[in-house]
Amino acid sequence: MKWSPGQCRKGDIVRVALGSLYHYGVFVSEDEIIQFGYPPLPEFAEQNKDPRVCAVDADTFCCGRIIERGEPEHGDKKTARTPDEAVQAARSRLGEGGYSIIHNNCEHFARECVLGVRMCEQEAEMRRKWQQRGILDVFIARIPDGAEPGPIADPNRAAYVAGTADEKLRIARYCVWELLGTALRRCAGVDFPSLRFTRAINGKWSSDGAPPFSLSHTKSSVCVAVSDDAVGVDIEENDAFDRFGDPKLVTSRLLCHGERADGRDGILSVWTKKESIFKQTSGTVFEPRGIRLKKHETVTFRLPGFEDLTVSVCGRTSALRCYVCEGGTVRGVTPVRI
């Protein structure tokens, strides 16, 4: 497709640049351009709460930008519709919903109407960047009331969970394994039941068929981190160290020379960071005073709905994305860094 400013004609595919994105439509006349959703600008926030295929005039479509028209080239010409066919196709979809910025957007709509092929160059570019991005995805979930351990496909993990004497700990180890399956299927598309896992002497689990991952759990919640590089994650209840009374009892074991941990949040931050470093580096014995924070890339945060927990991750933190798993659904959330 060759794009250029110029006199638009009936049945043209048209677009306007909005920063790094383009908004597409089907040109009928200066008084009618058919688009899927309004341009993604603040002034159209209300209309874009439920994007629909609609007709607007050229001034509304362009938002003061220059309209470019597309000229089909090479393979595009084989499937391109006549101007009347393109307009008919666009008008037949007026009022249609189901918008998805990735899978069903304004470019998909315009190209399908004009060229007869449903595709999106912006989607292809986003997929390319997605595939090249760093990955550090953190998943968190509550342990359901009345949860009971179920079957585990991997024999090593099944024996490990079954051999856990403490009932609450056995349930937590089962639930975090279930969450790992969700995380690996979502992040890597792996057939989780077919994977086989081994447990190292330091307690870290791994599989040749899975990307690097890390597990953590408390009495109430479970957490999994998945990355494309070595990763460690740790969660703690915010009251985990209150039973010690004097914070010095914790910090005396926790801090290296020159490190500080002020108050409860400071202690939680440093402790979970060092636990995550230990898991990421595959150390043999967890000795907090032997781990220097400055040598590692870590981040500490809390998540909406899980404010009673402190979470730390060691790894490719610039790629951090967080997900909450509730009732079989997974939704992205924004971490609150501390």
- What is the chain's pLDDT, residue by residue, as a tens digit (338 residues)? 899 998 999 999 999 998 878 999 999 999 999 999 999 888 999 999 999 999 999 999 999 999 999 998 887 888 899 999 999 999 999 999 999 877 899 999 999 999 999 888 877 666 666 556 678 999 999 999 999 999 999 999 999 999 999 999 999 999 999 999 999 998 888 889 999 999 998 899 999 989 999 999 999 999 999 998 999 999 999 998 877 667 777 788 888 888 888 888 998 999 999 999 999 997 788 898 889 998 899 999 999 999 999 999 999 898 999 999 998 899 999 999 98
Distance CA 239, CA 265 (A): 10
pLDDT of 21: 85
Task: Kindly state whether residues 231 and 178 are assigned to the same domain.
Answer: yes
CATH code: domain of residue 58: 3.90.1720.10
Task: Kindly state whether residues 200 and 305 are assigned to the same domain.
Answer: yes
Residue 296: closest CA among 211, 240, 238, 234: 234
| Ramachandran class of 47: left when φ > 0, alpha when ψ lies in -120 to 50, beta otherwise | alpha
Distance CA 13, CA 28 (A): 10
Task: Kindly state whether residues 180 and 321 are assigned to the same domain.
Answer: yes
Task: Kindly state whether residues 196 and 310 are assigned to the same domain.
Answer: yes
Domain that holds residue 176: 133-337
Task: Kindly state whether residues 169 and 205 are assigned to the same domain.
Answer: yes
pLDDT of 148: 93
CATH code: domain of residue 155: 3.90.470.20
CA distances from residue 269 to 139, 249, 252, 263, 280 in whole angstroms, order as listed: 19, 16, 15, 10, 16
Task: Kindly state whether residues 124 and 139 are assigned to the same domain.
Answer: no
Predicted TM-score (pTM) of the model is 0.62
Task: Say if residues 182 and 330 touch (Cβ distance below 8 Å).
Answer: yes
Task: Kindly state whether residues 109 and 162 are assigned to the same domain.
Answer: no
Distance CA 181, CA 185 (A): 6
Task: Kindly state whether residues 39 and 25 are assigned to the same domain.
Answer: yes
Of 87, 113, 129, the domain-final residue: 129
Q: Residue 12: is it exposed, middle or buried by C-beta count within 10 angstroms (0-12/13-18/19+)?
A: buried
Task: Kindly state whether residues 139 and 233 are assigned to the same domain.
Answer: yes
Task: Kindly state whether residues 50 and 153 are assigned to the same domain.
Answer: no
pLDDT of 145: 93
Of 100, 129, 158, the domain-final residue: 129
Count the domains in the chain: 2
Task: Kindly state whether residues 264 and 299 are assigned to the same domain.
Answer: yes
pLDDT of 97: 95
CA 51, chain centre distance (Å): 23
Task: Kindly state whether residues 161 and 39 are assigned to the same domain.
Answer: no
Of 77, 98, 129, the domain-final residue: 129
